[in-house]
């Protein structure tokens, strides 16, 4: 059910991009109760001009290795669960592939449970 968009600068290796996507999914499974096989992710690489970020907003020192993670998911998670997700995504990413914690920017977009079709033209979550 989560649909994940990852935006980063070009130059990240394919292995590291995979590790980043793996980390986000692992954290969703561990903190949000997302099924392990409920995985749909898009990774987009951008030129220097195509990905703009502030280097100090809120006193956090970001670098060109910044990663934007936008997760569309169904409503109903409490703030504490969202905080656990942010912490876990960042924790796993810092370990593998070794992203700086300051470079992990996350945004959630919540939608209704009937707003998904996973194939066959049906709204599987309303059945």
Q: What is the total count of residues that contact its own copies (CB under 8 A)?
A: 64
To the nearest 10°, report the CA torsion of 51, 56, 62, 63: 70
Q: CA dihedral defined by 101, 104, 110, 116, rounded to 10 degrees?
A: -110
CB of 14 closer than 8 Å to CB of 44: no
Task: Kindly state whether residue 31 participates in binding its own copies, applying the rule CB under 8 A.
Answer: no
Clarify whether 2 is annotated catalytic. yes
- Return the residue of 23, 28, 32, 104 that touches its own copies, per CB under 8 A: 104
Residue 79 binds its own copies, judged by CB under 8 A: yes
β-bridge mates for residue 31, sequence order:
none
CB 85 within 8 A of CB 48: no
Q: Based on the shown chain and the rule CB under 8 A, indicate whether residue 9 belongs to the binding site for its own copies.
A: no
Q: Is residue 96 part of the contact set for its own copies (CB under 8 A)? A: no
Task: State which of residues 26, 29, 30, 53 lies at the interface with its own copies (CB under 8 A).
Answer: 53
- Using rule CB under 8 A, residue 103 touches its own copies: yes
Residues lying near its own copies in the complex (CB under 8 A): 3, 7, 14, 17-18, 21, 35, 37-46, 49-54, 56-58, 60, 62, 68, 70, 72, 79, 82-83, 86-91, 101-112, 114-124, 126
């Amino acid at each position: 059910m989560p649909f994940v968009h990852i935006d980063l600068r070009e130059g990240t290796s394919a292995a590291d991009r995979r590790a980043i996507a793996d980390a986000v999914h692992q954290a969703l499974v561990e903190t949000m109760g997302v099924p392990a096989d409920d995985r749909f992710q898009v990774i987009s690489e951008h030129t220097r001009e195509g990905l703009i970020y502030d280097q100090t907003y809120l006193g956090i020192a970001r670098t060109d290795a910044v990663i934007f993670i936008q997760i569309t998911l169904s409503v109903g998670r409490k703030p504490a669960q969202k905080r656990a997700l942010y912490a876990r995504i960042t924790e796993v990413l810092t370990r593998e592939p070794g992203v700086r914690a300051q470079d992990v920017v996350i945004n959630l977009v919540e939608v209704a449970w009937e707003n998904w079709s996973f194939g066959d033209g049906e709204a599987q979550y309303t059945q």
